[in-house]
Amino acid sequence: MQEVLIYATAACPYCVRARALLEQKAVPFEEVRVDMEPERRREMMERAGGSSVPQIFIGEQHIGGCDELHALERAGRLDQLLERASEPGVR
């Protein structure tokens, strides 16, 4: 499975919901806490093009925030994206 990266803060309810969905699905993820590492917020903004949290990446693909993550799950596409991202040569 390709790495999942979430730029987040502790108190953000959308961050909490995104983490909860990934934990429920037993998807390992790396979390960058931009409230604890403010210098990483600039990195997040450059990569994602936005300043709100969460910003979620599956592999190198930016999928957006919590709403987009849940929309992928409702559409049955999140598992496919996670599986596709794990194939060699797919980004």
Q: What is the DSSP code string of 13-45? A: HHHHHHHHHHHHTT---EEEETTT-THHHHHHH
**Longest CA–CA separation in the chain, Å:** 36
Q: How many domains does the chain have?
A: 1
- CATH code of the domain in which 66 resides: 3.40.30.10
Range of the domain at 16: 4-85
Q: What is the H or E stretch that residue 60 is in?
A: none
Task: Flag whether 91 is in a domain.
Answer: no
pLDDT of 56 reads 98
Provide the residue-wise pLDDT of the chain in tens; the chain has 91 residues.
Answer: 789 999 999 999 999 999 999 999 999 999 999 999 999 999 999 999 999 999 999 999 999 999 999 999 999 999 999 987 444 444 4
C-alpha–C-alpha distance, residues 39 and 36, integer Å: 9
Task: Flag whether 58 is in a domain.
Answer: yes
Task: Flag whether 56 is in a domain.
Answer: yes
pTM higher than 0.85 for the full model? yes
